[in-house]
Amino acid sequence: MDPLLRQLPPAFWSVRYVGSRFPGSSEVAGLPSLEEGANCQLFAYEVLRHFGLAPPGLRSSELWADTQATARVSVAQPLDLVLFNATDDAYGAHVGVWVNERRVLHLCAEIGRPVVWEMTEFAQRQRYQVLVGIKRVVDRTEDIVG
């Protein structure tokens, strides 16, 4: 197992997918807790927080448009946010966390719990076939794209 993944507490691996628990939802007040489940964004943000980063609590299209707390990058590094969708539209995009070597940790409804997929596994599913792009929390802004 990848060293980054080994650093996640066991509780992260048992998080249930709950689509109604997203950043800004009425079900997520104050600091979120993964015990009640999460959607992909909430899960990804909590993974980054575990590693000391401070991602904004934004929905996917807001995250893609954000230039204050995150930056678009052309080459992924561990702990970057990766957005997937059926089209290149960031609205409703699925969010995961880049682990390494084309592997992404994410929480999706299809599996119902956290899983690590190769990029080819996303490409094989219509709802995730397009890589919308990669975002990096601003305090790690090497290789920023235009």
Judged against a pLDDT cut of 90, whether residue 84 lies above it is answered with yes
CB 34 within 8 Å of CB 15: yes
Q: What's the mean pLDDT when you consider all of the chain?
A: 90
Lowest mean pLDDT among 34-38, 105-109, 110-114: 34-38
Which residue ranges make up each domain of the chain?
3-140
The reported pLDDT for the residue numbered 144 is: 39
Predicted local distance difference test score (pLDDT) of residue 23? 84
Contact 69/54 with Cβ under 8 angstroms? Answer: yes
Q: Summarize pLDDT for 27-78 with one digit per residue, the tens.
A: 655 556 788 899 999 999 999 999 999 999 899 999 999 999 999 999 999 9
pLDDT at 24 over 90: no
What was the pLDDT predicted at 4?
93
So what's the pLDDT on residue 29? 54
Strands (E), 16-139: 70-73, 81-85, 94-100, 103-107, 114-118, 130-137
CATH architecture of 3-140: Alpha-Beta Complex (3.90)
Q: Is the pLDDT of residue 143 over 50?
A: no
